[in-house]
């Protein structure tokens, strides 16, 4: 039976483990930073020389670390895009705006082991010649912000942060910036705008790629909390050893947030790809199964914006055979290894690592109406398709969920969603559209049946239907 593999959360939940620096140091804290700062330049076979910082950057790349925030992009590659010739300062921002519904992993790190993040950040900053970094933390996490402030102060006092870090001459300052409560602040360019003191409107790309024109129009790295923590472990273990964790192209561990209709919801750190969705839901080490008498209906596998998977689905995945040839194999839903590539192969994503389990007691119409209301509320409203489409979908779903549906609503909703995805400034368009597209596609019968039932009920009422349903009053609504 697969088990958790605790790397990031190795100490966090141990009895007596506290978030202060004394406890962190007793558990080997800041040794990775010392090791990183002592990195020797490396001679390459082709005669080129890598500086100490370049060595660490190269190690992060070869470790195969992929971003844990949602997109699963190679962290080392992201760092390699940074414009280091502009002469402008390079900034690093830790994205601690964890706000994807279903996701509660970063807060475990921040609340229980903040120094691990700080150490990961200091190493990452040093490796990228960053002199000033920010932790952008979600406004709804005031406790986390206080803990991080305290951790930074302790690190500063011990000489791990500030001027002349550990006598190396390297200066770094890290500031905590609290958001004011908007999902879109987790989008990296929206976050940067917010950090600059503006409305968190994501920027158009091109030209505003953070690696070139980020914070204050300077090259900027934005990494997730968990991602930055992994950097520390890559330094400690060495990239080759680290890459042995997990599976090829899906290395390391990641923290999975499991919620919904399971007996034992919670967060679990697993080796990426070594545990299947079925094991995560049913094994006693993880979710512990469904509630008695219930059967699985659907899984939202990577945060609420990922496309839903239906119980019983079978996917054709690329698998490397013993002869090295890629072949297509059938993999059923519960046998899907929980990693970046398998879920992508299944037409969805592992996103932020948040698995939401839905059993047969759930109405897909009502669930989607709920989700869509969230996205309508969180759309920043900058660009047309998302601004208008996300509320449109939410209103249509509200109608369908409240007795004013039509049998063509399934198609109606899909059309609206189709006109959003891929046409917006940021990935929020996909985040709002994908749940609708996937729910309606995979559970079309349920949506059509609900509409038909409403129409049948109304055909008996002489007065006819009203279309004047409104969403529950939004705090933003005038």
Partner 1 sequence: MSNAATTAPAPAAPPPVEKIRIKVDGRDVEVPKMLPNWQGKLEPTTMLQAIQIAGGEVPHYCYHPKLPVAGNCRMCLVEFGTPMIGPDRRPVLNEDGSPKIAKSVLPYEPSTPRGAIACATPISPGMELYPNSPATKQMREAVLESLLINHPLDCPICDQAGECKLQEYSVQHGQATSRFVEAKVHKPKAVDLGPRIVLDDERCVLCTRCIRFTKDIAGDDALGIVNRGSYNTIAAWKEGAFDNNYTLNTVDLCPVGALTSKDFRFKMRVWFLKETKSVCTSCGTGCNLTVGSREGAIHRYEPRENDAVNGPWMCDAGRLNYKWVGREDRLKDVLVRGTKSGWATALKEISAQLAAAPRGSVAVVASARQTTEELFLLKKLATKLGAVTDSVARPGEADKLLVCADCNPNTTGAILTGIVDCHAEMGRNLAKIADGIRSGSIRTLVVFGEDVTQHGLGADLLAKLDMLIVSDILPNATTAVATYLLPGCAHAEKRGTFVNVKGRVQKFMKAVEPKGEARAEWEILHELVHHVTGQNGFSTIEGLFNQMAQEVPAFSGLEWAKLGDSGVTVQI
Cα 112–chain centre separation: 19
In this structure, is the dihedral angle defined by the CA atoms of residues 393, 399, 400 and 402, taken in order, positive or negative? positive
Binding flag, residue 376, partner 1 (CB under 8 A)? yes
Query: Would you give the binding string for partner 1 spanning residues 377-406, x where CB under 8 A is met?
Result: xxxxxxxxx-xxxxxx--xx--x------x
287-324 burial code (b ≥16 CB/10 A, e <16):
bebbeeebebbbbbbbbbbbbbbbbebebebeeeeeee
Inter-residue contact 248 to 223 (CB < 8 Å): no
Stretch that binds partner 1, among 144-152, 266-274, 310-318, 375-383 (CB under 8 A): 375-383
Instruction: Looking at residues 417 to 476 of the shown chain, list those that interact with partner 1 (rule: CB under 8 A).
Output: 418-419, 421-425, 430, 467-470, 474, 476
Nearer to partner 1, 146 or 415 (CB): 415
Minimum gap (Å) between residue 208 Cβ and partner 1: 9
| Residues found in the chain | 478
Nearer to partner 1, 362 or 441 (CB): 441
Minimum gap (Å) between residue 432 Cβ and partner 1: 10
Nearer to partner 1, 150 or 469 (CB): 469
Query: Would you give the binding string for partner 1 spanning residues 336-355, x where CB under 8 A is met?
Result: -----------x--------
Nearer to partner 1, 367 or 424 (CB): 424
Strands 130-137 and 173-178: parallel
Binding flag, residue 214, partner 1 (CB under 8 A)? no
In this structure, is the dihedral angle defined by the CA atoms of residues 308, 227, 23 and 134, taken in order, positive or negative? negative
Cα–Cα distance, 32 to 227 (Å, whole number): 15
Instruction: Looking at residues 182 to 201 of the shown chain, list those that interact with partner 1 (rule: CB under 8 A).
Output: 182, 199
Minimum gap (Å) between residue 294 Cβ and partner 1: 31
Cα–Cα distance, 159 to 339 (Å, whole number): 38
Q: What is the 3-state secondary structure (H, E, C) of 43-99?
A: ECCCCCEECHHHHHHHHHHHCCCECCCCCCCEHHHHHHCCCCCCCCCEEEEEEECCC
Instruction: Looking at residues 215 to 234 of the shown chain, list those that interact with partner 1 (rule: CB under 8 A).
Output: none
Nearer to partner 1, 165 or 184 (CB): 184
Minimum gap (Å) between residue 399 Cβ and partner 1: 6
Inter-residue contact 92 to 123 (CB < 8 Å): no
Count of chain residues binding partner 1 (CB under 8 A): 44
DSSP calls for 110-143: HHH-HHHHHHHHHHHHHHTTEEEEEEEE-TT-HH
Minimum gap (Å) between residue 184 Cβ and partner 1: 9
Binding flag, residue 78, partner 1 (CB under 8 A)? no
Nearer to partner 1, 288 or 465 (CB): 465
Angle subtended at Cα 230 by Cα 227 and Cα 234, rounded to the nearest 5 degrees: 140
Stretch that binds partner 1, among 24-32, 219-227, 293-301, 410-418 (CB under 8 A): 410-418
Cα–Cα distance, 120 to 68 (Å, whole number): 14
Minimum gap (Å) between residue 229 Cβ and partner 1: 28
Stretch that binds partner 1, among 58-66, 99-107, 202-210, 355-363 (CB under 8 A): 202-210
Binding footprint of partner 1 on the chain (CB under 8 A): 182, 199, 204, 206-207, 347, 376-385, 387-392, 395-396, 399, 406, 412, 415, 418-419, 421-425, 430, 467-470, 474, 476-478
């Amino acid at each position: 039976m697969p088990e958790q593999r605790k790397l990031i959360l190795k100490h966090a939940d141990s009895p007596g483990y506290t978030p202060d620096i004394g406890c962190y140091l007793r558990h080997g804290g800041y040794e990775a930073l010392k090791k990183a700062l002592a990195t020797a330049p490396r001679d390459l076979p082709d005669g080129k020389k890598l500086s100490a910082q370049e060595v660490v950057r190269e190690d992060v790349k070869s470790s195969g670390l992929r971003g844990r925030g949602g997109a699963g992009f190679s962290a080392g590659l992201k760092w390699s895009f940074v414009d280091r010739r502009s002469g402008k300062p390079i900034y690093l921002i830790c994205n601690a705006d964890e706000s994807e519904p279903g996701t509660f992993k970063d807060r475990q790190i921040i609340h229980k082991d903040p120094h691990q993040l700080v150490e990961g950040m200091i190493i990452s900053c040093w490796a990228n010649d960053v002199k000033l970094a920010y932790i952008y933390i979600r406004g709804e996490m005031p406790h986390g912000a206080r803990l991080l402030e305290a951790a930074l102060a302790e690190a500063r006092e011990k000489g791990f942060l500030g001027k002349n870090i550990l006598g190396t001459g390297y200066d770094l300052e890290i500031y905590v910036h609290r958001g004011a409560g908007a999902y879109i602040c987790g989008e990296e360019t929206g976050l940067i705008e917010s950090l600059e003191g503006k409305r968190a409107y994501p920027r158009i790309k091109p030209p505003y790629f953070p690696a070139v024109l980020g914070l204050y129009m300077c090259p900027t790295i934005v990494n997730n909390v968990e991602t930055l923590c992994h950097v520390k472990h890559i330094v400690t273990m060495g990239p080759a050893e680290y890459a042995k964790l997990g599976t090829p192209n899906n290395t390391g561990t990641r923290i999975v947030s499991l919620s919904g209709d399971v007996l034992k919801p919670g967060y679990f750190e697993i080796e990426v790809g070594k545990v299947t969705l079925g094991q995560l839901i049913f094994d006693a080490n993880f979710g512990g199964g469904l509630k008695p008498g219930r059967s699985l209906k659907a899984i939202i596998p990577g945060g609420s914006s990922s496309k839903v998977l239906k119980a019983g689905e079978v996917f054709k995945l690329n698998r490397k055979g013993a002869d090295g040839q890629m072949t297509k194999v059938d993999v059923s839903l519960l046998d899907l290894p929980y990693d970046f590539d398998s879920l992508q192969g299944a037409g969805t994503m592992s996103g932020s690592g948040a698995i939401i389990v839905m059993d047969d007691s759930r109405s897909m119409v009502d669930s989607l109406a709920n989700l869509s209301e969230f996205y309508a509320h969180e759309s920043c409203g900058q660009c047309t398709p998302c601004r208008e489409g996300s509320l449109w979908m939410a209103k249509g779903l509200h109608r369908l969920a409240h007795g004013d549906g039509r049998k063509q609503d399934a198609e109606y909703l899909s059309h609206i969603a189709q006109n959003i995805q891929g046409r917006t400034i940021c990935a929020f368009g996909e985040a709002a559209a994908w749940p609708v597209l996937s729910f309606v596609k995979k559970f079309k019968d349920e949506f059509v049946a609900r509409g038909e039932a409403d129409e049948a009920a109304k055909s008996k009422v002489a007065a006819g239907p009203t279309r004047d349903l409104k969403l529950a009053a939004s705090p933003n609504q005038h």
